[in-house]
Amino acid sequence: MFNLMKDVRRFHKKFGHAICDHNPSPDVLAFRRALIREESNELREALANLQNEYTITNLREVAREASDLIYVAIGTCVAVGAPLVEAWEKVHMANMQKFPAKSPLEKPRKSA
């Protein structure tokens, strides 16, 4: 996780994007929302392609689009100074304490 954040921080520095802006402008927030929406839609499209035809090309497309979405999500935390590592650890711990759902195609449950 730390290397991912360093990579994205270096990208932000190189291209003049916000870094640890604790009072981001509405324009910065709108830009981050637009990026997340765009990358999320591209991942959804890649998954639809994979559902239609399971090929190595489509599988690579899913990986590429998932990476783009992760990159943008990390970049959002870098831009606004959000404590991603701390939040990740808390979310992971909470997720590991959940109970299996009735089906692997459902989200795990918070209680038994």
Summarised one tens digit per residue, pLDDT across range 81-94 is: 999 999 999 999 99
Q: What is the pTM of this model?
A: 0.86
Summarised one tens digit per residue, pLDDT across range 39-72 is: 999 999 999 999 999 999 999 999 999 999 999 9
- What is the set of domains in the chain, with CATH numbers? 2-81 (1.10.3420.10)
The position carrying tokens 């195609």 is 105
Cβ neighbours for 32, distance < 8 A, ≥ 6 positions apart: 24, 72, 75, 76, 79, 80
